[in-house]
Chain A
Amino acid sequence: MSGTYETKHAETGSAPTPLIEVTGLHKQFASGGRFRRSRRSVHAVDDLAIRIHAGETFALVGESGCGKSTTARLMLSLQQPTSGDIRYKGTPLSMMSEAERRDYRRRVQVVFQDSNSSLNPRKRLGTILTTALTVSGAVADARRAVARAHELMEDVGLSPSASFFDRYPHELSGGQRQRVGIARALAPEPELIIADEPVSALDISVRAQILQLLQRIQRERSVAYLFISHDLSVVRWVAHRVGVMYLGRLVETGPVESVFTRPVHPYTEVLINATPVADPERAQLRHVHVVSGDVPSTTERPSGCPFHPRCPLAVETCRSEVPELLPVGEAHAAACLRATERVEGLRLP
C-alpha cells in the first residue's frame, strides 16, 4: 500500500492541503492535591506538530506514557487542548461552526486497543452498528441502517452477517470483536481512523489478519490512519510515515523507510534496536545501544533535551538546550542537537 500513496503524490507534485494538520499542540493536566499549593502540572503533549494526508497511514510510536493516547484524545475532541490548533482540511477546529464541528466528529473515528471494553456488553452487535449509523447521521432511517449494518459486517469479515447480528460482544473472540470495532468506526464514513494500539491486545496469529483488514479498507475507501503503537515491527509494515514521541514531544518524524534505516535521534535508534529480530544473523549486525534508567515522569521533565539523562550520546549542551525539530533529510526531521554530526556519520560507508 505504500506504493499507491507515494505515486499518487508524486503525480500531483506539491503537497495538497493535509487532511489533518496539528500545530503547536499542548496538553497540560493539573495533578496533585485539591489545593493550589500542592498542584503540579503534567505536560502530556508538548508542542506537537503533525500532518496527515488523505489516504495515508501516519504512525505515532513511543513508550507508554509518552502522550500518544492523549494526542489521539485531543484529535477526537474527547479532550480540549491547553493550546494549539487542529486543522481539518485547512479549517481550525476553534473556528468551526456547530455543523462543521459535527461533520469533523463524524469524519474522524476511532478503534481502541481493548476490544472488550470498547463494545457495550449489553448491546447486540447489530444494535451497536445500527446505533453508530443513525447517531452519526450516516443513515437516516432505521431500515436502511439494518441493511447497512449487515453490509459493514460482511466488509470486515464477519460473515455471514446474519449469524453475528443478534450476538452479544462476550460471545465473540478478541479478533472478531476488533472487527466489530472497525465496522463501527467505518459506519459514519470517516476520512481518518485513529487506531490506538489496535492489535496490541490480540494473539499474534490474529494480528496479521486485522492489519490486513485495515490495509484493505484503506485501499478500498482511501481512509487515512493515525496508527498509534509501541510495536515497531507492526509500524514498519503498515505505516507510510512515522513520528516518534518522547515525553510528549515529537523527537523524530519522516517516511518509514528513512526513519527505520537511518534513524537520527538516538531514542529512535534505541526503540528500533529494542525490537526483537527473528533472524539471528541480522540481529548480530545491529550495534546495540541500551538505555539505562526509566522514562522520567512528565511532572519532572529534565531540563534541556528531555532524553539527555538516558542518552548514550549526550554532551554538556544537551543538559541546557532544548533541541528543535529540524530537517535531516527528505521529509525527515529530528530534534537532536547532535543530528548534523549523526547524519554525516551515517553517510560514511
Chain B
Amino acid sequence: MNGPVRDFWLQFRRNRLGMVGLALVLLLAAVALLAPVLAPVDPFRTSRQALLPPMSPGFLLGSDHLGRDVLSGVIWGSRVSLLVGLAAAATATFIGIVVGAVSGFFGGWVDELVMRVSELFQIIPRFVLALIVVSFFGSGLSNLILVIGILSWPQTARIVRSQFLRHRALPYVDSARVLGMKPLRIMFAEILPNVLAPVIVVASLDIAQAILMEASLGFFGLGDPNLRSWGGMLNTAQGFVQRAWWMSVFPGIGISLAVLGFNLLGDGINEATDPRLREG
C-alpha cells in the first residue's frame, strides 16, 4: 500500500460505524458470491409445504405461499441487490465524473448547460420516472441498472464539477498546461486522482440508493421476473402480511442491512478523507 492509501486506512480503521458498514458490505458480498453454496435449495423450487413458519424442518426461515424456501430466496436475492446496486452506481459515477469534469474544467456555457440539465434531473421525482420508464421498456436486469444509473448521476456530477473548479486554478494544473499537456490528460490523469475521495463517498451512497430503488420497483412488481429478488419477495408477501410475517420480514432485513452497510461505509470514508472531520 502506498502513502495516501495507507493513511486513509489508518484513519478509517478508527471509525467504528465505518467499520460496521464495511463488515456489512463484506458480509453481503460474501453471501452473494457464495449463494450457490450457502442456499439450502433452489429458491424457485416449489413444494406442498406452503406457509411454514421459521424453524420448520428444512425451512429455516419458513416457506412462502408456493412452498418456496425463504432463506434460499433471501440468499439469492442478495445477488440481485448487490449487482444492481454496484452496476447502477458505477453507471451513475461514470456519467457523473465525465459530465462534472468537462463542466468544471471548461466552464462557460458548457457549465451553464450541464448544471441546468442536472437541476432538471434533480427536481423530477426519480422513483416515479423510474417506474414509468421500467413499465414502458420492460424490467429486465440491464434496464433496471441503466434507468437507476441514468437517474442518479447529477450528485456526482455536481461534486466533481465543484472540485474541478477549484483544482483547475491550482498551480500544479497551470504547470501541466505550461509543459504542454493536453486538456483530457490534465483532467483525468492529473486532477481526477485528487478529487476521487468525495466521489467514492457519493458512489457508496448511490449503491445504497440503487439497492433501495431496485427493491421498491420490485415491490411494485417491476423487478426482473426471472430472478428472485428482495423487492420481488416483498411484492408476493403483500397478501400474506398477517398470515406469514416471515415472507416480508426477512427480505426486509436484507434490504435494510445492505442499505445501512453502504451508507455507513460511505460516511466512514467521508470522515476518513475529510480533514475537517478528523479528530486530533
Contacts and interface: CB of A to CB of B under 8 A. Distances in A.
Interface of A: 73, 76-78, 102, 105-106, 108-110, 112-114, 117-122, 131-132, 135-137, 168, 171, 181, 184, 187-188
A76 to B, nearest CB: 5
A110 B180 contact: no
27 contacts: A77-B178, A78-B174, A78-B177, A102-B180, A105-B179, A106-B179, A106-B180, A108-B178, A112-B175, A114-B171, A117-B170, A117-B172, A118-B172, A118-B175, A120-B172, A120-B190, A121-B194, A122-B193, A131-B181, A135-B176, A135-B179, A135-B185, A136-B180, A168-B3, A171-B3, A181-B175, A184-B179
A283 to B, nearest CB: 36
Contacts of B177: 78
Contacts of B178: 76-78, 105, 108-110
Nearest to A194: B178
A132 B174 CA distance: 13
Interface string B1-12: 001100000000
Interface in B140-193: 170-172, 174-181, 185, 190, 193
Interface in B186-207: 190, 193-194
B180 A137 contact: yes
Contacts of A117: 170-172
A168 B4 contact: yes
Given A120-B190, A122-B4, A168-B4, A112 B174 contact: yes
Which applies to chain A's interface (DSSP): helix, strand, loop or mixed?
A: loop
Contacts of B179: 105-106, 109, 131-132, 135-136, 184, 187-188
Find the residue from A114, A117, A168, A188 having the highest chain B CB count within 10 A: A117
Interface string B219-262: 00000000000000000000000000000000000000000000
A119 B171 CA distance: 8
Interface residues of B, number: 17
Contact of A110 (B3, B174, B193): B174
A112 B193 contact: no
A121 B176 CA distance: 13
Contacts of A187: 179
Contacts of B185: 135
A105 B182 CA distance: 13
Contacts of B3: 168, 171
Which 9 pairs show the lowest CB-CB distances between chains A and B? Answer: A118-B171, A112-B171, A122-B193, A120-B172, A117-B170, A136-B179, A135-B179, A135-B181, A168-B3
A241 B183 CA distance: 36
A78 B186 CA distance: 14
Nearest to A34: B112
Nearest to A171: B3
A343 B26 CA distance: 81
